[in-house]
Structure 1
Amino acid sequence: MCHVIKRLFYEQGVSPAICELGQDSMGKEMESTLMRLGCNPVPAVFIGGKFVGSANTIITLYLNGSLKNLLKNAG
């Protein structure tokens, strides 16, 4: 799902900052924190510095047309 979300953002003209947990020394700790936020499984998506949700949330926002506005408002 991470690949799908990355591709979705690229198609929207966004260059997201991506943190690959499996390649980060703090990855396990970050994953635990994300799970406490309700993001299980990852990807956890933040827009404009605010936690939006996981892949299901982002796909729903895309399908109902809200994602583009969120991205635009975040700059």
Structure 2
Amino acid sequence: MAEERVTKLASERAVVVFTKSGCCMCHTVMTLLVGELAVSAAVHELDRDPLGREMEKELARRLGRGAPAVPAVFIGGRLVGGTSKVMAMHLKGELVPLLKNAGALWL
């Protein structure tokens, strides 16, 4: 059930971010995407969703061993990763082209 829900929610917009309220790394990623890059992301706070705990386990499984489950960033329906992956991509100049290809940026 959680696997299907994550997959469904991850494909609802060009950029989808799974977060938890009060998570500073989630805030950092959202500041970059929404504040700096002006992306209109769908945000799902797992601690406010009845299936949040199960979805968090599913995201942790997808992200791999040892990685925090949130934030989990999907671009174009594909899991990109968490904070370190998104920030690394941004610093390498890879994030903006990916966002453009997904239709999340028009500039």
Residue deviations 1:15-53, cap 9 Å, x none?
110000011111000000001112531100000111011
2:60 is aligned to 35
Q: How many Å separate the matches in 1 of 2:81 and 2:28?
A: 15
Give the 4+ runs in structure 1 shifted more than 2 A: none
Match of 2:100 among 48, 72, 75: 72
Structure 2: tracts of 5 or more residues without a match: 1-24
Structure 1: tracts of 5 or more residues without a match: none
Match of 1:6 among 30, 33, 36: 30
Query: What letter matches 1:15 in structure 2?
Result: S
Percentage identity across paired residues of the two chains: 49
- Greater per-residue helix proportion: 1
Match of 2:73 among 40, 45, 50: 45
> Which of 1 and 2 has higher RCO (CA within 8 Å, sep 6+)?
2
Q: TM-score, normalised by structure 1?
A: 0.95
Q: TM-score, normalised by structure 2?
A: 0.67
Q: How many Å separate the matches in 1 of 2:53 and 2:77?
A: 21
Q: How many Å separate the matches in 2 of 1:61 and 1:24?
A: 29
- Greater per-residue strand proportion: 2
Match of 1:25 among 47, 50, 53: 50
CA displacement at 1:3 relative to structure 2? 0.3
Aligned residues: 75
